[in-house]
Chains A and B, each alone.
Chain A
Amino acid sequence: MRTQDRIAKISLYTILCAGLLVVVGPFLWMALASFKPEAEIRRVPPTWLPDTWTLENFRQLFTRLDFPQYFANSVLVAVLITAGNLLFCSLLGYALAKLNFPGRRALFLVVLGMLMVPGMVLFVPQFVLVSNLGLANSYAGLVLPFLAGPFGVFLMRQFLSTIPDDLIEAARVDGAGEWRIFFRIVLPLCRPALATLGILTFLSSWNNFLWPLVVATTEDKYTLPVALALYSVGQNRTDFGLLLAGAVVVVLPVLVVFLILQRHFLRGIATTGLK
């Protein structure tokens, strides 16, 4: 019995470690490779530990690029978009899940319909719209179109419909207004869903490449991914050293956000998955 247990445990850990290797391996290689000179990065077969350690790639990253500017742009855009999504998606999700008003079903159908429209189809019309509003090359143009999205609304609505109506009724009986119910009762219960939405939105906006590239017409509005592509990817060749060093630095904030929110995030995925 005990040996059987041990065998089960050992095989479980072996599988888990193998999985971990597959997931973490490339990431680790990226981090280590960012300390290698260009020629060593391209060497076949590749090396794990750098033969020659160099900080040249990072030095280039911080001197050739106006790094603080791009970093600040990225943070500003990602934080505003995430905050907007958390607020607006949960508001709309609440209305769709818990409030009775004419056209609620139709509105929900429209939200679902929008989920089915591929983003690339919207790309050019959205850009035309933004530039006709005079928002090309402005932070507003970078942020405004993404403040709420059908996916976020759908996610919040599904989560909110699991909250018992009785709870809201009780609050109403106690004399709380809709706003108070929403911010004091409902929103605190939504933490797992909010964490999920927050992380997903932050990630997608942090990594977004095409929109900032097109909307920002001068370099001072570029975000990190755009700037990184600009300096490392050429017409016929790629500067892998700079690209990898940049990737390492770009990944760090996402890691931090994830570590802060991971407890809620996992719970969020579990609960929304149940529904």
Chain B
Amino acid sequence: MNRALRKVAVVGAAVTLVLAGCGRESGGEQEKATSVAEGKASGEVTVWAMGTEGEKLGAFAQDFMKENPDAKVTVTAVPWDAAHQKIASAIAAKQTPDVSMIGSTWQGEFAKTGALDPTPPELFQRDSYFPGAWDTTVVNDTSYGVPWYVETRVIYYRTDIAAKAGITKPPATWAELSAMAKAMQGAGAKWGINLQPGKTGSWQSVMPFAWSNGVEVSDGTKYTFDSPEMVEALRFYQSFFTGKLAPTELAEGALEPGFAKGEIAAFLSGPWMVDLIKKQGGAGFEDKFAVAPMPKQKSATSFIGGSNIAVFKDAKNRDAAWKFLQWLAQPAVQTRWYQTTSDLPAVRSAWQDPALAGDKFLKVFGEQLKDAKAPPTFATWEQVSAAFDTEVEKLAKSGEDPATVARTVQSKAEAIGTGS
């Protein structure tokens, strides 16, 4: 029996090894984009888009088809949950569509597989986008795809609680942010502020503080997490938890009701929260809270996220695909897309539209986007950020020393490498 078992294990291991050996070569050095033929688009363009975007894009693209009567855009909606897995598998099996929406932090990884088509420079101008957004498309000095919509993180706070605490203007510096959280807790809030205490994506809450303190997590060729500035930023982040100003444990979905009830007086989050909070708070709640840009240390930098949209090299209809992307990038179309989905335009001139410029909440996001950064587009960023999240959790929950956290993240990042 023992021998038989051993044999089984050997067979199992052999199969696993053989399977693990299958892979695909990665893309090489800097690539040059080929140009796109002029004239109207024609033929079918297949597009994958996630969530709401996938749900709404099909009908939205009718206008494009009106302008290009010979073209047909077919949209498949993909769940956000597993879109990464779906695109990765499609690349491996060469079953990619012509166009796909790409989460901005996935860009490095997918560009590295060599499956994405470099952006034709004659169709898109870097300057027309928010710089942080454009940077997310650039891998090895080549841009793959273009930003579609953006989001950034700002401070939400209860103006009524702040007023009770004697605060009448949004926090402009780190010190003022701490003071405000403390004062609002004194004025009856259970928690002065909520900052994500670990779990997936918590790095997106930490990095705004790090960037504002002058941190660069990469020098272009390798990761550089371990710096005095980083330690300082982590210490500041931790101070909210050690000072009992921020909860170290908050159930998913508990933030909105907590904020509406005044138990949580402030938090750091993105534009999607505006609607959720308004809905949770009910009528009149709109006047009880406000959003404010990141407070300043050396700078007042936030995180820029959102999604890019890219064309695959294996696209059957490459020219029409790029023309469709070009259409999506027109300022008027970007504004209409905002009205359809509430996605914030990545193209700067679209923000002049009164629908965006006149909204008291959105205005703040528009300002913050001018100073917002994205992580490096290394192929391994998703892995490194997962390791980062784990350390953030230790920082917030078990009081891990910030210097140790910076060192651990750096050594984990070095072990993972940049993937190039």
Contacts and interface: CB of A to CB of B under 8 A. Distances in A.
Interface stretch (B7-15, B215-223, B384-392): B7-15
A213 B88 CA distance: 12
A102 interface: no
Interface residues of B, number: 53
A71 B55 CA distance: 19
A173 interface: no
B16 A229 contact: no
A236 interface: yes
Contacts of B272: 234-237
A219 B93 contact: no
Main secondary structure of the interface of B (DSSP, over half): helix
A118 to B, nearest CB: 8
A116 B5 CA distance: 11
Interface in A46-98: 64
B344 to A, nearest CB: 12
Given A209-B82, A213-B85, A136 B8 contact: no
A56 B420 CA distance: 50
Interface in A120-179: 121-125, 127-128, 130-132, 136
Most chain B beta-carbon contacts within 10 A, residue among A38, A64, A237: A237
B80 A131 contact: no
A15 interface: no
Interface residues of A, number: 45
Contacts of B85: 210, 213-214
A122 B19 contact: yes
Nearest to A118: B16
Interface string B163-205: 0000000000000000000000000000000000000000000
Interface stretch (B249-257, B356-364, B406-414): B249-257
Interface string B57-78: 0000000000000000010111
A38 B257 CA distance: 11
A110 B11 contact: yes
A275 B80 CA distance: 44
A67 to B, nearest CB: 15
A158 to B, nearest CB: 15
A230 B94 contact: no
Contacts of A122: 19
Contact of B19 (A43, A125, A230): A125
B257 A43 contact: yes
Contact of A234 (B10, B12, B16, B80): B80
Contact of B8 (A39, A116, A127, A237): A116
Contacts of A113: 8-12, 14-15
Interface string A214-235: 1001110000001001110111
A213 B94 CA distance: 16
A136 B19 CA distance: 20
B43 interface: no
B258 interface: yes
